[in-house]
Chain A
Amino acid sequence: MNTKINVTINGFQLEVENGKTILEAANEAGINIPTLCYHKDLCIAGNCRVCMVEVSGQKRLAAACATPCEEEMEIQTNSLKVRNSRKHIIELLLSEHNADCTKCYKNGNCELQELASEYKIMTQDFLRLAPMKNYTIDQFSPSIIKDDSKCIRCQRCVRTCAELQGVNALTVAYKGDEMKIATFFEKAMNDVVCTNCGQCINHCPTGALVERNYIEEVWDAIADPNKHVVVQTAPAVRVGLGEALGMDIGSRVTGKMVTALKRLGFSSVLDTDFTADLTIIEEGTELLNRLRKTLQDKDTNVRLPLATSCSPAWIKYIEHQYPELLDNLSTCKSPQQMFGALAKTYYAKARKIDPDKIVSVSIMPCTAKKFEANRPEMHDSGYRDVDYVLTTRELAIMIRQAGIEFQKLPDNKFDRLMGESTGAGVIFGATGGVMEAALRTAYELVTGREVPFDNLNITPVRGVDGIREASIKIEKPLKEWAFLDGVELKCAVAHGLVNAKTVMDAVKNGTSSYHFIEIMACPGGCLGGGGQPIPTSPEIRQKRMEAIYAEDGAMPLRKSHENPEVLKIYQDFLGEPLGPKSHHLLHTKYIPRERF
């Protein structure tokens, strides 16, 4: 049992759980204390000093985020002393900050700007320090732009990179006035172990870390009468976009999004969910092939567990951190890249459009997708498979620029071809979704029966625990799959790269008995991706997750292998799963990378 203690905040008495911080207690009492370095996803740093409050009997102010409540504590969150100090701190941060707000990508979505506005910092009494420092902007990465002149050193990115992702691409370097957030030897972001996951962007309170945006390029393509601009939208975008356009968190806006994209002028509005379904067919077949080779043919060269390959940040992570395990990866491209390769081949042929004139755009909840589209091997269509990748946030910007009142839009359906999808494709957007979709198909393929779960909801792989395990026993398989009779298929699901590390260490050490593992780089899966609306928090991701599963539940088709367009593409174009054409367009290779 937790004991309760009594505290007084601004004269109000309240009872709080022992161990709660002053910040938590104040929030419970409906009192807002400003914060900058604090983030619900991260450990307490207590370094920005914006949340200082006065505690009776103490000479100095206390950081509300880092100070636990004590019995009979009397706290003032708005005394003269507090206000003056807080204002000073904000002024100091601004003096060190490149406060050229109108030229900033984060203008209007910046926590420092909000604070400056709240405290009406109208003058610049202190010396401007930012221009005295020779900051360079790191814009070598196709995904992330790092501008130190806008950094307030809250270390949220550092903690994100370490605690959520276990990557540690960003750390603190130097001390005193030279202290900054840096990569290994201050190399460019694209030269280090950074996975481009973009979680640092999601957690940055200012414009120091932002995505490289391709908004103007896409506008130009749309305006070019000689171009046919196709757009694909990832599953998680439809549960995040509404948020960025003033709607409730977790709003499902698939229909409005399609309408908006059409009004923006895209030639054809298609769905990444289609290639998500296709991924399931290819990857599911790959899994069953590997199982056959291992269990039936006793082939020891085949690597198990098979690991999913949809998350490009995860791919770059394993290339850096576990190059010896690259053979465990599914060779399937991510749905985005499958789509890109098909858009300039299958789609072009069917629609009789010169692939040279096709501009392929994707809307992703992800910044690593920008890097992925930029990988030199992603040219299997004979062209660059995906030309531009926009995040959910960039799409929201375009919709606003176009003067579209998003909330009032009518619903619309995706175009054909490559617009049909199933609930299995939709749940790719949540952690555990690929696993669930794969199991729905693979189980049925092997046994001829639906997965033995109520309403196809494979609940053991759902949820928010960092690592989840599940197993399905295969009984009475079809004759062709007799070798799987009685086999307990063991699966693991991990999200957040720090959890991926735990799973991969087990694989590396040979202590895991998994057959299939799904890994998503971002917390919550793609719905918590680095390209999703800011802010993020466990509660926000939970709501998006509920929306994803609601979307799945509402789909008439729930299993990838029932997607009529998928069946059609094999019939008309690809031939068979893992066939030569599939192999050429839908599969890829990985390269070991150095660990800087």
Chain B
Amino acid sequence: MVASSYQLKRADFIFKNDNDWERILDKTLKRPPQELINELMSSELKGRGGAGFPTGLKWKLTAEDPSDEKFVICNADEGEPGTFKDREILSKVPYKVLMAMAVCGYVIGSSKGYIYLRGEYKFLVPELNKAIQEFEYYCKEVGHDFSIQIFLGSGAYICGEETALFESMEGKRGEPRNKPPYPTSNGYLGKATVVNNVETLAHTFTIFKYGAKKFYDLGVQYSRGSKLFSVSGDTPKPGIYELELGMSLQDFVHEFGDGDTKAVQVGGASGFLVPRKRFDKTTIGYRGKLTGISLPTGGSMMLYNSSRSMYNVLDNYLEFFREESCGQCTPCRVGCQQLHSGIKAVKRGEKPAQYLDKLLKLTETMQLTAKCGLGQSVANSFSSIVENFREEMIY
């Protein structure tokens, strides 16, 4: 096989064992908050949870809010099927995340941080608490007022959505709120709050340590920096890889495929399925139709080879959404049921093949009207699978 003109560019920042976080923290806390915001803005770091909101802007908006109390929340609810990078960050380099939270607190004017940890990651708690203790001890020593607490989720996928996460933390049912108002002014307990994904925070460590330019120089235009990818499925080397953004999917499959890759699901159940014929036209980044992004977390790469039935794949995703929708808004609650039952009815011959078109229209409505990213993004996997593998849905 001819080697691709573009080589996958490995990066090694996140898991690099920087033993100097105390020094970096001291150094960073001596810089004016505005300078740190500027540094983040110029790095063009975008949220690694999937939505891709510019991190610097998020910090800036929250810093400017007049809330009397503010919060920093690290979103570690990593629930997107096929994603397992945050777990690795928190167990290997927790101090990077803790330091980034403290810096964020310094920038926006908050002394309280929370880690919203996925319920299934309970096993991380003892080690993480040890790290937090050590970190808080250091903060106290250098006179920086910042404390961090772990909040354990209860297992609902929807609680990774930031406003549902607030509701969950406030002891309520995990349901997304109406937006606006946005978390930057009305977040946890109604106060201005920064919610950043674990990986996003870890990247800010890189930026504060090495400077924005180092980060900016990685990747391509609009998609700067590196990103962790959780590679799974039909691949000889599943695992977590830090790669520069902007790679073509073809190169990715050359590297990770098993030689028989039929399609790749980019961005988990709420992402897109890319069929083989589109590998060379697809790049992974924040611009362009197909990206490595999607709510609520990014970086999931699931490879499927020709032994997989795309009907089963879709059935599996839809069953997931049908269960994990919070159930409050009509398009998502009923839409997911209709999609899931609908493809079954077509498969069984109870509905004609054209019914798939009706369902495709329905996903458009869901995208337009659902209250949060969950319902809005069901359309992604549904339409990309049905449009590309229509015959597998029917026969």
Contact = CB atoms under 8 A, between A and B. Distances in A.
Given A46-B178, A89-B369, A92-B335, A60 B328 contact: no
Nearest to A52: B369
B158 A81 contact: no
Contact of B173 (A68, A84, A172, A176): A172
A414 B322 CA distance: 59
Interface string B317-348: 00001111111111101111110011001000
Nearest to A92: B334
Interface in A23-82: 44-50, 52, 60-61, 63, 66-68, 81
B102 to A, nearest CB: 34
Contacts of B334: 92-93, 95-96, 129
Contacts of A155: 328
A98 B340 CA distance: 20
B341 A127 contact: yes
Contacts of B365: 84-85, 88-89
B327 A175 contact: yes
B43 interface: no
A126 interface: yes
B331 A89 contact: yes
Contacts of B324: 175-176
Contacts of A48: 329-330
Nearest to B375: A49
A40 to B, nearest CB: 17
Given A89-B331, A92-B330, A127-B338, A46 B371 contact: yes
Nearest to A93: B330
B369 A85 contact: yes
A563 B251 CA distance: 95
A64 to B, nearest CB: 11
B358 interface: yes
Contacts of A127: 338, 341-342, 345, 351
A178 B327 CA distance: 8
Interface string B230-252: 00000000000000000000000
Contacts of A177: 322-323, 325, 327, 333, 336-337
Contacts of A49: 329-331, 369-371
B171 interface: no
B325 A176 contact: yes
B173 A92 contact: no
Interface string A168-192: 0001101111110000000000000
A81 B368 contact: yes
B371 A175 contact: no
A67 B330 contact: no
A171 B172 CA distance: 11
Contact of A153 (B156, B323, B333, B337): B333
Interface string B344-378: 01000001000000100110010111110000100
B336 A52 contact: no
Interface string A86-126: 00110011011000000000000000000000000000011
Q: Which of B331, B333, B361 has the most CB of A within 10 A?
A: B333
Contact of B328 (A47, A88, A95): A47
Interface string B84-109: 00000000000000000000000000
B143 interface: no
B180 interface: yes
A126 B173 CA distance: 29
A440 B321 CA distance: 63
Nearest to B366: A88
Q: How many residues of B sit at the interface, in one of the four size bands?
A: 35 or more
Contacts of A88: 331, 361-362, 365, 369
Nearest to A125: B358
B330 A175 contact: no
B331 A60 contact: no
Interface string B266-278: 0000000000000
A49 B336 CA distance: 15
A61 B342 CA distance: 25
Interface string B150-190: 00000010100000000000000101001010000000000
A45 B342 CA distance: 29
Given A95-B338, A127-B345, A179 B369 contact: no
A261 B387 CA distance: 65
A346 B336 CA distance: 63
A60 B327 contact: no
Contacts of A152: 330
Contacts of B331: 49, 88-89, 92
Given A47-B330, A49-B330, A89-B369, A63 B345 contact: no
Contacts of B376: 60
A341 B4 CA distance: 94
A446 B358 CA distance: 77
A125 B324 CA distance: 25
B341 A153 contact: no
A152 B329 CA distance: 10
Contacts of A129: 334, 337-338, 341
A63 B368 CA distance: 10
A49 B372 CA distance: 12
Contacts of B362: 88, 92, 126
Interface string A141-163: 00000000000110100000000
Contact of A89 (B325, B330, B345): B330
Contact of A126 (B325, B336, B338, B367): B338
Interface in B302-326: 321-326
Contacts of B326: 175-176, 179
A175 B158 contact: yes
A169 to B, nearest CB: 16
Query: Among the interface residues A61, A127, A171, A174, which one has the most CB atoms of the partner chain B within 10 A?
Result: A127
A523 to B, nearest CB: 24
Contacts of B158: 175
Contact of A175 (B180, B323, B335, B367): B323
Nearest to A81: B368
A60 B333 contact: no
Contacts of B175: 172
A156 to B, nearest CB: 13
A172 B333 CA distance: 14
Given A48-B330, A175-B326, A85 B156 contact: no
A175 B374 CA distance: 13
Interface string A458-483: 00000000000000000000000000
A279 B48 CA distance: 68
Contacts of B345: 127
Nearest to B331: A49
B325 A175 contact: yes
Nearest to B335: A92
Interface of B: 156, 158, 173, 175, 178, 180, 321-331, 333-338, 341-342, 345, 351, 358, 361-362, 365, 367-371, 376
11 contacts: A47-B371, A49-B330, A85-B369, A88-B331, A89-B369, A93-B330, A95-B338, A129-B338, A174-B327, A175-B325, A179-B333
- The list of the 8 closest CB pairs from A to B, nearest first, reads A179-B327, A92-B334, A66-B178, A88-B365, A46-B178, A47-B328, A176-B323, A176-B325
Given A46-B178, A175-B158, A179-B327, 5 more contacts: A47-B328, A48-B329, A60-B367, A126-B342, A177-B336
